[in-house]
Structure 1
Amino acid sequence: MPLGTLDRTPPPFFRQGPSALTRLMFFSALALFLMVADTRFKLTQPVRAVLATALNPVERALRAPVDAVSAAGDYAMGLQDALSAEARARRELAQQAARSARVEQLEQENLRLRALLDLRPGLSVRSQTAEVLYDAPDPYSRKVIIDRGTQQGIAVASPVINEAGVLGQVTRAFPYSAEVTLLTDKDAAIPVLNMRTQVRSAAFGNSAGAGLELRFMAGNADVQVGDVLATSGVDGVYPSGIPVAKVVSVDRRVDTGFARIALAPIAQPDAVRHVLVLEPLGVQMQPKPEPAPDASTKPGTGSRRGTRR
């Protein structure tokens, strides 16, 4: 082949176009123009809206797993928070219930203390308050222990009352405590006065330890259900006029000639906490004055009669 027939033009791969600097300046100017045009004239806004609308389902599909995991985590955290809040609310409710019960108890105790304080000015004997500590360990008796003893001036035979009436009597005194035998004890007895008929009698604790009874009352005695019995004051221990019991039943027996009269104590010993301990009347009574010596006699010498010699 002759050399003149050869194509000496470079192939397309080696063809040279605009230089890199030229292309850089061109595309930079084009980008700047598009940015200015988009900012000033909003030219690309419709294109952007079309692209966003077309890509929205794809975006939602790609975000679905992420949203599901996030929702599951929020549900678990919300459930845990709800359970914690419920437990906290239950604890607060229990505390409020305990406080409410305590407030009611304090109100009842305050009322009893006020009643005791109102009762003290009406008593003509000295008294002091005491608190019931516990019941006596003997199951066959009705006795309680109070927190006052001989160091506080408590003496044996001191009456014990509350705002309702008589509770019992101190039977044993220790330095810092005392034992009180309640009226419902089987060995307890107290002289009483029927406030309706003004008839004196004696009330005794029954063997069951749940009430009292009037003994040795004639079958035709004027005693009715509902009669109120109070202390008569003839024993020198209890002040007169303090409520003791109320008649609840009268069984007039023809075969024995006596009536069986059941009483219910006015002061409920099982629901008492604060009491008044009174000084026995016998302790406060003035001693009986001794008779004055005869003026005609001298101390240490007897009277002598004259004799005739």
Structure 2
Amino acid sequence: MPRALEHQHHTGFFVRGPSPTARLFFFAVLSLVLIATDARLNYLVEVRQGFIALLHPLQIIANAPLNIAEDIGEYLHTQTTVVEENIQLRTQALEHAAELQRFKALAVENERLRSLLGAAQLSSQPARLAEILHMSRDPFSHKVVVNLGSRQNITPGQAVIDEAGVVGQVTRVFPFSSEVTLITDKNLSIPVQVERNGLRAIAFGQGRSATVELPSLPANVDIRVGDTLITSGIDGIYPAGLAVAEVIQVDTDADSPFAHIIGKPLAGIEHHRQLLLVSIPQVDRPADSNTLKTPAPANNKKATPPKRHVNN
């Protein structure tokens, strides 16, 4: 006969202990007791400090990604800020340099205007301050154009000077500008005299060489290198005593009765833009010039009176 099945005792899958509620209650009571005891006796301070010291490396490791991200963001922000500030400072430096150069140019121009004012005061004739607009592009023609014209009562023939001496003469006048021919132009001449001994001569421009020449003077003329040529004033255009040029070359040749004398103008337009246009002095006419009588006829015949017409 088959054997009867014996009753088997099965073991539980989980070993059962106190219930979760009991555990919660136990640990809650234990926590309250420890909190109250620590609050009264402070016996867990050293334990907490020990745990904090042990967990500090873990805290650093845990905060490391956040700290690294913040450092990278701050570095990038600082780098961008530094680059922007550097660009801004460079721009400001360039602007300040430009302003400084402008102030220096204004100071030089102010000093030059003061010198021109002094030249105008030395001249007995009234003068007008003009500014150079542009220069001639022809290398053989030494001319400039200034910003004063017939609307400002500028007339051809006016002398043009600066603080150093004679520059040239107004040769053409337009409504709002004028053409000035420099004394170095080959088509312009100016009466001069040697400041040292008063010797008179005529200075002619040499064109491209930017010099003036004193032709037709004898070989034994009393002119030396370094002499200053000034205006004689006999032409009635240039005021007397203005500096014109400095003698830089005096050559004599046994085969020629004339000396070759070259002068370098003292005034110039290479570094400045302001000039003075000196007015031409007016010649005083006699008050009774309009009452002058016509001269008598050259022959001895008497002038017959005009016939009268008698009305019938």
SS in 2 for 1:216: coil
1:186–1:209 CA contact under 8 A, matched in 2: no
Alignment pair present for 1:164 and 2:164:
yes
Gaps of 5+ in 1: 1-11, 295-301, 305-309
Q: Which moved more, 1:175-184 or 1:247-256?
A: 247-256
- What is the deviation of 1:32? 4.0
When the two structures are aligned, how many residues end up with a matched partner? Answer: 283
- What is the deviation of 1:261? 1.6
1:144 alignment partner in structure 2:
144
State how far apart, in whole Å, the 2-side matches of 1:272 and 1:209 are: 20
1:252-295: CA deviations, max 9, x gaps? 222212222221111122222111111123xx12125668879x
What are the residue-to-residue correspondences of 1:1-309 with 2, within 5 Å?
20=21, 24=25, 28=28, 30-281=30-281, 284-288=282-286
Calculate the TM-score normalised by the size of structure 1. 0.81
State how far apart, in whole Å, the 2-side matches of 1:91 and 1:285 are: 60
Structure 1 residues 228 and 40: CA distance shift in structure 2, 3 A: farther
- What is the deviation of 1:108? 0.8
> Amino acid of the residue matched to residue 106 of structure 1?
L
1:297 alignment partner in structure 2:
none
1:156-214: CA deviations, max 9, x gaps? 00001111111100000111110000111121111111110111111111132422122
State how far apart, in whole Å, the 1-side matches of 2:274 and 2:239 are: 19
- What is the deviation of 1:23? 6.4
State how far apart, in whole Å, the 1-side matches of 2:73 and 2:24 are: 52
1:5-55: CA deviations, max 9, x gaps? xxxxxxx977878x959964x655544443344345432221121112112
- What is the deviation of 1:61? 2.8
- What is the deviation of 1:65? 3.6
State how far apart, in whole Å, the 1-side matches of 2:280 and 2:65 are: 90
Gaps of 5+ in 2: 1-13, 294-300, 304-312
State how far apart, in whole Å, the 1-side matches of 2:143 and 2:37 are: 106
For the aligned residue pairs, the C-alpha RMSD in angstroms reads 2.9
- What is the deviation of 1:228? 1.0
State how far apart, in whole Å, the 2-side matches of 1:99 and 1:42 are: 73
1:203-230: CA deviations, max 9, x gaps? 1111324221221222221111111111
State how far apart, in whole Å, the 2-side matches of 1:15 and 1:182 are: 123
- What is the deviation of 1:73? 3.1
State how far apart, in whole Å, the 2-side matches of 1:149 and 1:293 are: 37
Structure 1 residues 286 and 37: CA distance shift in structure 2, 3 A: farther
